[in-house]
Amino acid sequence: MYQGSETFNPIAVDPPSKGFSDQIRQQARELGFELVGIVPAAPLHSEQERLREWLARGYHGNMSWLARDPEKRTDPVKIFPAARSVIVVALNYYTPEQHFASPDTGKVSRYAWGDDYHDVVGNKLRDLLSWIQAHIPTATGKTCVDIQPMMDKAWAVRAGLGWIGKHTNLITTELGSWVFIGELITNLDLEYDQEIIEDHCGTCTLCLEACPTDAIVEPYVVDSNKCISYATIELREPEIPGPVAAHLEGWFYGCDICQDVCPWNRFAQNTTEASFAPRPGNVNADLSAVFELTADEYAERFRGSAMKRAKLTGLQRNALVLLESNRR
């Protein structure tokens, strides 16, 4: 439940007023979210068609769960039957540290430097739901952060937080693309945001040109089979495919190249969320040390970190590929 310092008296709001919707936005910001939008829980029909086309081209690789129930991913009611509104938030995770060049280490994607964003964003959303319920006891909701079948980036666009860049990441005019996205689906009818941010990528193709594996096969389309992030995180095979392994460019877990070159990230601001401060060894990972980890040491080392996603076998596979590449 919400643990704020204020004492709340439940208020009868049926339907909730515009003023209460503004209070929700304000509370979301007080919880640390830089951006927040509220939209109806209506299906994303056009996004469902694009998802089906992407799946038909096999661009999801071995991520078979993405192909299950595409309609569920685009209709909040199929996730939360009482859905009336979707509160969409973005949380800045940028920190100023930079990777350093060393043949003994591998680069880690910025999103995994600190605590697991699933926990950080999820906890804040649950606090927001508790705050709402302190005002409206009949309010119910479901929090979604990446692992639930919600198209996070599409919802962020619908809520006016930004646009999908040619690298397929959400770009915001305020913070660039270094943001995590989450949703709170609720049974409340709220006052909705109407503004949609237009695509500001223009003629820029820096992300396509910079990708060393040509994973961005065309603007706004990524083939996961060619993507370094997919290969080093999601791929469960004992070997990384040769064309990708040959062009890792030092990446051990994930890849930030397309975001690093994006001009919109000149607007990046340092996060105020202490949980995203880099953990020791999470900016550049010691490759040899990865092989010395026991199962218990691995569990302890990556407790509460997004890097546990790749499993110990995946991390050791990645480290071996990089070390062998550095010996050549």
CATH number at residue 125: 3.40.109
Domain boundary among 137, 158, 186: 186
Which member of 146, 189, 260, 286 is catalytic?
Answer: 146
Does 136 share its domain with 236? no
Domain boundary among 153, 186, 219: 186
- Can you read off the two tokens belonging to residue 19? 């003023």
| 146 annotated active-site | yes
pLDDT for residue 149 is more than 60: yes
Which of the four pLDDT bands, split at 50, 70 and 90, describes residue 16?
Answer: low
Q: Are 158 and 39 in contact (CB under 8 A)?
A: yes
Quick check: is 2 in a domain?
no
Does 173 share its domain with 281? no
Does 230 share its domain with 159? no
pLDDT value at residue 198: 97
Question: Per 3-state DSSP, what percentage of the chain is helix, strand, and coil (rounded to 5)?
Answer: 40, 15, 45
Tally of domains within the chain: 2
Phi/psi zone of residue 97: left (φ > 0), alpha (ψ -120 to 50 degrees), beta? beta
Say how many Å lie between the first and final Cα of the chain, rounded: 56
pLDDT for residue 132 is more than 60: yes
Q: Are 321 and 250 in contact (CB under 8 A)?
A: no
Nearest to 144 by CA among 98, 183, 187: 183
pLDDT for residue 220 is more than 50: yes
How large is the average pLDDT for residues 174-186? 98
Does 149 share its domain with 55? yes
Does 289 share its domain with 177? no
Nearest to 282 by CA among 308, 258, 244: 308
pLDDT for residue 167 is more than 60: yes
82 phi, psi to nearest 5 deg: -85, 5
User: What does the alpha-carbon distance between residue 213 and residue 249 come to, in Å, rounded to a whole number?
Assistant: 10
pLDDT value at residue 70: 83
Does 68 share its domain with 161? yes
H or E segment at 163?
Answer: strand 163-164
Does 138 share its domain with 238? no
Does 166 share its domain with 226? no
Q: Cis bond leading into 16, ω under 30°?
A: no
Quick check: is 79 in a domain?
yes
Does 270 share its domain with 159? no
Location of structure tokens 């990089």: 322
Label the pairing between strands 105-108 and 251-253: parallel
H or E segment at 218?
Answer: strand 216-218
Which of the four pLDDT bands, split at 50, 70 and 90, describes residue 197?
Answer: very high
Does 23 share its domain with 160? yes
Quick check: is 12 in a domain?
no
pLDDT value at residue 18: 66
pLDDT-above-70 percentage for the chain: 94
Quick check: is 276 in a domain?
yes
Quick check: is 84 in a domain?
yes
Give residue 178's domain range: 18-96+115-186
User: What does the alpha-carbon distance between residue 74 and residue 158 come to, in Å, rounded to a whole number?
Assistant: 12
Side-by-side strand order, sheet with 35-40: 35-40, 85-92, 179-186, 141-144
Domain boundary among 124, 153, 186: 186
Quick check: is 195 in a domain?
no
pLDDT value at residue 72: 87
Residues 140, 143, 144, CA angle at the centre, nearest 5°? Answer: 145
Nearest to 328 by CA among 245, 231, 212, 244: 245
Quick check: is 232 in a domain?
yes
Does 173 share its domain with 217? no
Quick check: is 41 in a domain?
yes
Does 323 share its domain with 222? yes
pLDDT value at residue 25: 97
User: What does the alpha-carbon distance between residue 75 and residue 186 come to, in Å, rounded to a whole number?
Assistant: 13
User: What does the alpha-carbon distance between residue 168 and residue 187 come to, in Å, rounded to a whole number?
Assistant: 30
Label the pairing between strands 216-218 and 35-40: unpaired
Q: What is the pLDDT of residues 26-79, one digit of tens each?
A: 999 999 999 999 999 999 999 999 999 999 999 999 999 999 888 888 999 999
Nearest to 89 by CA among 19, 141, 18: 141
Which of the four pLDDT bands, split at 50, 70 and 90, describes residue 14?
Answer: low
User: What does the alpha-carbon distance between residue 126 and residue 318 come to, in Å, rounded to a whole number?
Assistant: 35
Q: Mind giving me the DSSP string for 113-133?
A: SSS-HHHHHHHHHHHHHHHHH
User: What does the alpha-carbon distance between residue 306 and residue 56 come to, in Å, rounded to a whole number?
Assistant: 29
pLDDT for residue 257 is more than 90: yes
Q: Where are the beta strands (DSSP E) in 219-270?
A: 221-222, 251-253
